A = this chain, B = another copy of it.
Amino acid sequence: LNRIKASGLKLRFCTNETQATREKFVKKLQGMGFDISVAEVTAPAPAACRILKERSLRPHLLVHNDLVPEFAEIDKANPNCVVIGDAAENFTYANLNEAFRVLIGMEKPVLISLGRGRYYKETDGLKLDVGAYMKALEYACDVQAEVVGKPAKTFFESALAEMGVPPQQAIMIGDDIVNDVGGAQQCGMRALQVRTGKYRPCDENHPHVKPDAYVNNLAEAVDIILQQL
C-alpha cells in the first residue's frame, strides 16, 4: 500500500463489510499495520445511505448492531423501505417476521440489500450470509431486492467517482472471483485475482469470470502495476 501511495496512484478500499461501521473496520486494518483512513473506504452502508437520501426512503433496518451508527443521519420514522445487511445474531425469527411485515405492508415493497453473499466462514464455522435472508424476503414478498455492494456495478461506479478516475484507468485487486473480479470487469475495469484469502484453485476454471491476471499476493500485484506506469 505504501508503494502505491508513494507512486501517486489513486487508491480506494472496496469492502462488503456490513457487520461494523467503517470506523471499526479501518481501526482493525490499522491495527494490522495498514495505512488506511475512513475517507478511503467504499462500503455498502454509506452507499445505501446515498440511495436512501436521493429517493427520500426511510428504512426499517435489519442489520448488525455495530452497523447502525452508519445510518445515524437517516430518518427512520414511518419506514417506506427495508434495508437488510449481515445482521448475524439479529437474524432472529422475530426480527425476520418484523422486517417481512413492514415490507409486505407497503404498496410497492422496496428491499435494499447490503450484499448478496451466500455464506462465509468464521472461527466457529460457516454462517449464512445476507444473500440467503434477502432471498427469503424476496420470495415471501414477491419482490426483487436492490443490491448495494460488490458485485453491483453502481458500487464500483461510486468508488470510481470518489477517485475521479474512469474505469479504463482503474484496476481492481481482489480475492473473490465473482464479487471482486467479475464485478469490476462488468464495470469496465481490469481486475487481478490474488491467490490468497477466499481464492480457491477451482476459481481458475470459473465458467463466466476470467481475471486479467493472477498474482500470488498483494505485493506482486503492486509490482505489476508499478512496472506498467
Closest 7 CB pairs of A and B: A132-B136, A135-B139, A136-B136, A132-B140, A135-B135, A91-B93, A118-B140
A62 to chain B, nearest CB (A): 12
A126 to chain B, nearest CB (A): 5
Chain B binder among A44-52, A95-103, A195-203: A95-103
The answer to whether A97 touches B126 (Cβ under 8 A) is: yes
List 10 interface pairs A-B (beta carbons < 8 Å), by A numbering. A92-B92, A96-B128, A100-B119, A100-B126, A104-B126, A118-B142, A119-B140, A128-B136, A135-B135, A135-B139
Residues in chain B near residue A93, CB distance under 8 A? 88-89, 91-92
A35 to chain B, nearest CB (A): 36
Interface residues of A (CB under 8 A from B): 88-89, 91-93, 96-97, 100-101, 104, 118-119, 125-129, 131-133, 135-142
A109 to chain B, nearest CB (A): 13
Residues in chain B near residue A97, CB distance under 8 A? 125-128
CA–CA, A127 and B167, complex, Å: 45
CA–CA, A131 and B135, complex, Å: 10
Can you add 13 more A-B contacts, CB < 8 Å, to A92-B92, A128-B136? A89-B93, A91-B96, A92-B93, A97-B128, A100-B126, A104-B126, A118-B140, A129-B140, A131-B139, A132-B140, A135-B135, A135-B136, A136-B136
- Output the nearest chain B residue to A100 by Cβ-Cβ distance: B128
Residues in chain B near residue A138, CB distance under 8 A? 135
A7 to chain B, nearest CB (A): 41
Residues in chain B near residue A125, CB distance under 8 A? 97, 101
A93 to chain B, nearest CB (A): 5
Residues in chain B near residue A96, CB distance under 8 A? 91, 128
Tell me which of B101, B104, B133 contacts A136 (CB under 8 A): B133
